[in-house]
A and B are shown apart, each in its own frame.
Chain A
Amino acid sequence: MSEPATPKADRAEENPDDPPADGAERDMSAEPSDEQPDDGADRAPVTTGAQSVVRALENAGVETAFGVQGGAIMPVYDALYDADVRHVTMAHEQGAAHAADAYGVVKGEPGVCLATSGPGATNLVTGIADANMDSDAVLALTGQVPSHMVGSDAFQETDTMGVTTPITKHNYFAGDADTVGDTVGEALSLAGAGRPGPTLVDLPKDTTLGETEREPGEGRLPDTYSPADEADEADVEAAARAFEAAERPVLLLGGGVVKGNACEAAREFAVEHGVPVVTTMPAIGAFPEDHDLSLSWAGMHGTGYANMAITHTDLLVAVGTRFDDRLTGGVDTFAPEAEVVHADIDPAEISKNVYADYPLVGDAGTVFEQLSEAVGSSPDTAAWREQCATWKDEYPMDYATPDDEPLKPQFVVEALDAATADDTIVTTGVGQHQMWAAQYWTYTSPRTWVSSHGLGTMGYGLPAAIGARLAADDDQQVVCVDGDGSFLMTLQELSVAVREELDITVAVLNNEYIGMVRQWQDAFFEGRRMAAGYDWCPQFDKLAEAFGAKGWTVDDYDEVADAVEEALAYDGPSVIDFHVDPGANVYPMVPSGGANGKFALTEDQL
């Protein structure tokens, strides 16, 4: 009972009339469309649920969707044949979800992915969970067996609702062709509203094939959903008084500041009042890292100075962060002397992990406006800024590059940063390379750092680069800093980058290990490197060429600049396999549950 092999096609939409996946579905399969594609200029009236689904996407201005065909979703794909939506066929549904996620991050609007029922839907799961953890707006559309067969263990049936309820902001089972378009519109609106997140609409085949003339309306938010915009005035006043009186304030920017398009407001506030700024990892780029007030990002592998500052602050103004444990370390020692002003659009994040003395429930941009209004005089931060500057000197991120040791990965990241424009988008896998990409690249604008934070999904980098590429401005460069292990998990998506002629540079920091695991084994498991060696990876440059991309291998410092230059100049997907020091470790490091102020700078300090 396997899917038929489909002929290699340049674009999936040229290929809509593949035979149905399986004989068992023959009765429900869509008739191949006789109509000519009318390039969407004049929109034909909706006649089926599937067309209503696609119309809802068009109404919302969705330009791009990522997915993989299959039996239960075929009616929707058939409707896409005539639609104004660019569909990008991915090699794997996980890739579709990550691409949609990154597309959304870069564009600032929900990304859309599609998959068939059963394995298609389950393959999306990692990407949906990733989006959920990082509050990324994604709409997933999944095919489902016809509703009369739901619950019968039908071919390719999975309880997609059950599987995805814990990892979506909300999910919908669309049981009615007349309303399915409205449901899709609502799901799309909900994904992007308030605290963003993934939503899913499960589409049984009888709904999408079902007849309807109902045009979906504009996507509306559910009546029960109304996130606050403005924070309570009294709370704002109280927070403002605390801020004015602070001696060692820190502005902690979280991912919500980027999602709320509040980076400009945050910067004005910080500069106006002379407050040192620390970001969380998801907020990298929210504040220019080359600014005097920037202490870069805090947490497990954050800079020493950021971790010192959040440890010694007496007033933490935290906006749009959920105080993840990779940021806080042990809560007992987190900002232990600080009163906390916590602004977030999701009231459930207030006092969830760290108690908020001044809770401000509202939109990040609005709250900054309110705070700016309410704050009368700037706190006197001269001495505190001096202290932060001293920490910057005391804990530099400089690393050694001894001649007798292999190429240092940090050097590669810096070389890539130096060779690219300021607005270059960086995507990553998960592991040491991700941390170096975060530490040694200087980010100056929001939505240029695209990574998997909360879930920590190896394999995110390449499909994310594809999504980012399609969302970015044409003149923006896209670099995927990947690990050998992470790259191996989703590198089949190179075929998509080649097919779509996407200008992406993949820089593999190949240490022949799943290095982050190896680092922990050396530090906490007596160096017993169980299942951590990855010297069995294929030659990535050759593999790239086999896919039709361009490939390079770099072993030495003096080869780095040329390879980077050539790869960036190449107009298409390219892969540079940097053979870097297998022994390099990521520092600073706060061990899990440890005190941020006790970050280790070398292994013996762990």
Chain B
Amino acid sequence: MSGDSEEPTDNGDLPKQGLKGPRPEERPHPEGRRNSHGVRIDPEVEAEPRKRSAVISALVENEPGVLSRVSGLFSRRQFNIESLTVGPTTVDGHARITLVVEETDAGIDQVKKQLAKLKPAIAVGELGNDAVRAELVLLKVRGDEPDKVHAITQMYEGQTLDAGPRTITVQITGDQQKIDDAVDAFRQFGIIEIARTGQTALARGDTPTTPDEDPGHEAAANSSATEQQTTPQTTPTTDDD
């Protein structure tokens, strides 16, 4: 960079160690600043960005290990995840993963893009506030006051799944707020065990849940209809052909 010298140069004004030039405090420095997301800001005015909760839906190829790829991505990149649900769709080989994350807008953007980069990811989208969401909780409480337990279960439009002399297990479904309220309400009986599924969600109305998502129900309905027609009288359907 400093010429192709064959012989050592004796340059008197150079420091013995290091380089010459104006010191840091002798240089001009721009006033501007960026925040932790690299956005230019006025530090006097703008606070650091806040986190919000977002529901993200990913349509994926249901290959072995896909869930560990997704969960590994979240831990590796320190994305805050509240819940993750997964299940097959009506399209063969597809699954839908629904994630609730707590991140800044920029963080949510990263979550979506990093998810979309996974090879099995077909489509990724964030659901709007009007999305249809539901969660299921199983609550095992003490069976000392069955009538009261029953009343509260009805209040939350739940079901009793198991009632014994010592414990009662009920199931409640609904949005997160309802589940939280129900759990609070059941506390009075002493909750022995609890299992929550985490939220799952679909976009409302005609809106596809992930962008450009093919309407899977039609494909599935059509193909299963033709299957049924072509194979009318076969006894229990097996998948192994």
Contact = CB atoms under 8 A, between A and B. Distances in A.
Contacts of A161: 65
B232 interface: no
Interface in B39-84: 39-40, 61, 64-65, 68-69, 72, 76
26 contacts: A165-B65, A222-B119, A303-B1, A311-B30, A312-B30, A332-B33, A333-B33, A336-B40, A348-B110, A348-B113, A348-B117, A355-B106, A395-B22, A397-B1, A399-B2, A408-B8, A417-B4, A440-B1, A441-B1, A557-B8, A597-B24, A598-B24, A598-B27, A601-B15, A601-B21, A601-B23
Nearest to A336: B32
Interface string B1-36: 111111111110011111111111001111111111
B109 interface: yes
Interface stretch (A120-128, A456-464, A583-591): A583-591
Nearest to B117: A348
A435 B68 CA distance: 38
Interface-central residue, B8, B21, B33, B113, by most chain A CB under 10 Å? B21
- Shortest 8 CB-CB distances between A and B: which pairs? A336-B32, A602-B18, A401-B8, A354-B38, A418-B4, A348-B113, A400-B14, A395-B21
A155 interface: no
Given A334-B34, A557-B7, A600-B24, A352 B14 contact: no
Given A348-B110, A597-B27, A398 B119 contact: no
A402 interface: yes
Contacts of A323: 38
Contact of A166 (B18, B24, B72): B72
B22 A394 contact: yes
B39 to A, nearest CB: 4
A190 interface: yes
A411 interface: yes
A359 B54 CA distance: 23
Interface-central residue, B22, B31, B72, B120, by most chain A CB under 10 Å? B22
Contacts of A584: 17
A296 interface: yes
B16 A351 contact: no
B38 A312 contact: no
A213 to B, nearest CB: 22
Given A165-B68, A442-B1, A351 B33 contact: no
A347 interface: yes
A396 B61 contact: no
A492 to B, nearest CB: 32
A414 interface: yes
B114 interface: yes
Contacts of B106: 351, 355
Nearest to A222: B119
A224 B61 contact: yes
B8 A601 contact: no
A312 B36 CA distance: 20
Nearest to A598: B24
A269 interface: no
Contacts of A354: 34, 38
Contacts of A595: 29
Contacts of A545: none
Contact of B121 (A224, A441, A597): A224
A499 interface: no
A196 to B, nearest CB: 13
Interface of B: 1-11, 14-24, 27-40, 61, 64-65, 68-69, 72, 76, 106, 109-110, 113-114, 116-122
Given A170-B119, A308-B27, A595-B29, A336 B34 contact: yes
How would you classify the secondary structure of chain A's contact residues: helix, strand, loop or mixed?
Answer: loop
A523 to B, nearest CB: 11
Interface in A456-479: none
A179 B169 CA distance: 48
B171 to A, nearest CB: 34
B16 A400 contact: yes
Contacts of B118: 170
A520 interface: no
Contact of B122 (A170, A224, A351): A224
Contact of A332 (B34, B117, B119): B34
A334 B17 contact: no
Interface of A: 161-162, 165-166, 169-170, 173, 190, 222, 224-225, 289, 296, 303-304, 308, 311-312, 323, 331-334, 336-338, 346-348, 350-355, 394-403, 405, 408, 411, 414-415, 417-418, 439-442, 557, 561, 583-585, 587-588, 595, 597-603, 605
Contacts of B64: 173
Contacts of B31: 336-337
A296 B20 CA distance: 18
Nearest to A186: B119
Contacts of B110: 348, 352
A583 B15 CA distance: 14
B65 A355 contact: no
A355 B15 contact: no
A573 to B, nearest CB: 25
Given A352-B110, A405-B16, A394 B21 contact: yes
Contacts of A599: 24
Contacts of B116: 347-348
B32 A337 contact: yes
Nearest to B118: A170
Contacts of A296: 1
B39 A396 contact: no
A303 B38 CA distance: 23
Nearest to A594: B24
A52 B6 CA distance: 55
Given A312-B28, A418-B6, A190 B18 contact: no
Contacts of A312: 28, 30
Contacts of B11: 398, 400-401
Contact of A165 (B14, B19, B39, B72): B72
A173 B66 CA distance: 12
A351 B34 contact: no
A436 to B, nearest CB: 10
A602 B113 contact: no
Nearest to A331: B38
Nearest to A353: B38
A598 B14 CA distance: 19
A440 B37 CA distance: 34
A355 B37 contact: yes
A399 B3 CA distance: 12
Nearest to B61: A224
B119 A605 contact: no
Nearest to A350: B113
Contact of B2 (A169, A332, A397, A585): A397
Contacts of B19: 304, 395-399, 587-588, 601-602
Contacts of B1: 289, 296, 303, 397, 439-442
A347 B109 CA distance: 10
